Each structure stands twice: as structure tokens, then as C-alpha cells.
Amino acid sequence: MAEAARYLLYFQYCGTKYSGVMKTPSHQPIPGVQNYLEGAVQKLRPINEVNISISSRTDSGVHALCNSAHLDIQRKEGKPPFSEQLLVDALNFHLKPEPISVLKAFRVADNFHARFRALSRTYVYRLAIGCFHRSQLPVFERNLCWPVSNGHLEFWELTFRSRSFLYKQVRRMTGALVAVGQGKLTPRHIADLLEMRDSRAYPQNIIAPPGGLFLKNVEYDEKDLEVEESKIQ
């Protein structure tokens, strides 16, 4: 029997219509991005049950310019493993017309793990300065940023990079920065919140909405993206 090949996938999506990136059960009305990814893989007719391991969880309404995941694909006896480019092309064909796209694929070692091997994750939060309501935004920006003030319309980006993040951490930090700028919180309030080390103390009404948040990149050691030639043949 042919051995399973493990791949690292980089993929992107507009998260507006999904429950998040993670897979949801069949009875839930709104699926996750993972549901569609696994559905596309199953159409390639692997003989194993494919379970995609996502590196970075994103919530409902959050987008990704580049998320990552690993999966194992075992083909029928006599069929070679998919080449990286063929896998990308085939998955994108089966993902149509969803706003989900596979960017790249790498054949990786059998012990590679997309989540635990990640060196860092980079998020970008987009703010619209110049309006207070999404109806005032250009139609193609309405689910892609957070309108926070009046004036001349311009877009700001806040970038956050770390090995990992806590639940809603980037949205909390963004909301706190905006609240200080609007005079709803003072720097002293932020210091007090940090000293408490209790997420329950954070004011819930200043968490930034999900639509402005993008996972920009997941970084790995380049050596982890190399596999022995004997494994590919």
C-alpha cells in the first residue's frame, strides 16, 4: 500500500460568511473554512480519512491573507503522491466559488505539525479613520475594516507579531488603543488591566469587531519546509 504524503498548505479566505476557520459539525447551519478545505481534499479521492490540522484559529468574521495547515494524503496503489503545484491547482478548482484559495503547498516530513512548528504569527488590524459607521465606507471595504472616527477618510494598519496569541487578544489590544484615542480609557486604565492579568476585567464594549482583523502570515523555519528527495520519489 502506498504511503501517505504530508503537506503544508498556505491558504487565504474572506471570513465574513464563515463561522471561523475551524470545522463545524454538520448540524450547524454556518460552516467553517476547514469544512470546505476538507471537502475539496475528499474530491481528490484519497484512500485515507483526511483531517486537516489548522495552525492558527480565527473566529467568525476574521479574515486571513495567509493561514496554514498540514494534512496527509494517501493515494491508491500505483498512484504517486501529488506534486505540490498539482495539489494547489486541484484544490483551488474544487474550492470554487468559495472565497477560499490555496496559495502554496510544501511536501514536509511525516512528523511536521503546522501549529507546533510555527515560529510566529503576524496579524494586521485595519482601521478606517474618517467615518463612524460601515455604511459610510466604500462598499468593498465594509467587512474589511473598523470605522472609528470622523474626518478625512484614510486607512490605518496595526501590526501584531508573536509566537502565539490568547483568545481575542489582538482585538482586545486594538480596542484598547482606540478607546484611549477616543478618551474612553486612559493609559492608567490600560496599566491597571495589565496588572490584573484577568481577561474578565477587560471592558467587553471596547473589543474591536472581527471584520478588521487579518491573519497576515505564519512563519516557519525554512529547514522544516525541506523534505528528503527519497521521500518525494
pLDDT in tens, 56-114: 999 999 999 999 999 999 999 889 999 999 999 999 999 999 999 999 999 999 999 99
Query: From CA 91, how far away is CA 13, in angstroms rounded?
Result: 14
- pTM tops 0.85, yes or no: yes
pLDDT tens across 147-203, in order?
A: 998 888 899 999 999 999 988 999 999 999 999 998 998 989 889 888 887 777 788
* pLDDT for the residue 230: 46
CB 11 within 8 A of CB 102: yes
Q: Do 158 and 186 belong to one domain? A: yes
48-to-70, 89, 169, 208 alpha-carbon distances in Å: 15, 21, 36, 41
Q: Do 67 and 159 belong to one domain? A: no
Q: Do 94 and 144 belong to one domain? A: no
CB 63 within 8 A of CB 15: yes
Q: Do 17 and 103 belong to one domain? A: yes
- 3-state secondary structure at position 58: coil
The partner residues of 11 in beta bridges, in order of sequence, read 67, 102
Q: Do 207 and 110 belong to one domain? A: no
Q: Do 106 and 138 belong to one domain? A: no
- 3-state secondary structure at position 71: strand
CB 67 within 8 A of CB 52: no
User: Would you name the residues annotated as active-site residues?
Assistant: 59
Q: Do 144 and 176 belong to one domain? A: yes
Q: Which residue has the cell 467553517?
A: 32
Name the residue range of residue 38's domain.
5-118+217-232
Q: Do 64 and 143 belong to one domain? A: no
Bigger pLDDT: 162 or 134?
162
Bigger pLDDT: 188 or 216?
216
CB 47 within 8 A of CB 74: yes
